[in-house]
Amino acid sequence: MDAPVEERFGRSPYLILIDTDTGTETSIQNPGADAAGGVGPRTVQLLVNHGVKAVVTGQVGGNAASALQAAGIDAYQYRAGGTVRDALALYRAGKLTRLL
């Protein structure tokens, strides 16, 4: 929760999954973060597999955007350079811009 937010969606080394109802957090590794290409869709696949409904990130590339749309996952932008906790607080307060 105290880790800084990675602003490039597909390059995030870890994904922090937060259950907004129960507040539980799980951290999963993103095996595709260092891959040469297609990191966007691969990261989206990971989110789909974990039943994620919305994502907070800095920016999403074109393929990641179409993948998120296809999967029906909302994307919100956070680029203030803070931690996961900061981003979550703004998300809960409804203060983040919606990307998709």
Partner 1 sequence: MNVAKIAVASGKGGTGKSTVAANLGYSLAQERDVVLVDCDVEEPNLHLFFQDGRSESPVTTPVPVIDTSACTFCGRCAEQCRYGALLVLENDIRFFRELCHSCGGCSLVCPTGAVREEMEAVGRVWESRPFPHLRLISGVLDVGEIHSTRVIQAAKQAAEPAGLIIYDAPPGTACPVVETMEDSDFCLLVTESTPFGLHDLELAAAVAKKLCVPAGVVINRSDGDDAETMAVCSRHDLPVLLRIPFDRKIAAWQNRGELFAVHMPQWQGRFTDLYTRIQDIAGGSR
- In the three-class reduction of DSSP (H, G, I as helix; E, B as strand; rest coil), residue 87 is classed as helix
Q: Residue 72 CB, nearest distance to partner 1 (Å)?
A: 8
| Residue 67 in contact with partner 1, rule: CB under 8 A | yes
| Residue 38 in contact with partner 1, rule: CB under 8 A | yes
| Residue 12 in contact with partner 1, rule: CB under 8 A | no
Which residue is listed with tokens 């799980």? 26
Nearer to partner 1, 42 or 55 (CB): 42
Nearer to partner 1, 4 or 37 (CB): 37
22 is written with which tokens?
């129960």
Length of the chain: 100
| Region binding partner 1 by CB under 8 A among candidate stretches 17-25, 36-44, 78-86, 91-99 | 36-44
Instruction: Answer for the pair 10, 43: CB distance below 8 angstroms, yes or no.
Output: yes
Dihedral, CA of residue 93, residue 42, residue 64 and residue 66, to nearest 10:
-110
| Residue 41 in contact with partner 1, rule: CB under 8 A | yes
H/E element, 68 = helix 62-71
Contact residues toward partner 1 (CB under 8 A) are: 32, 35, 37-42, 44-45, 48-49, 63, 66-67, 70-71
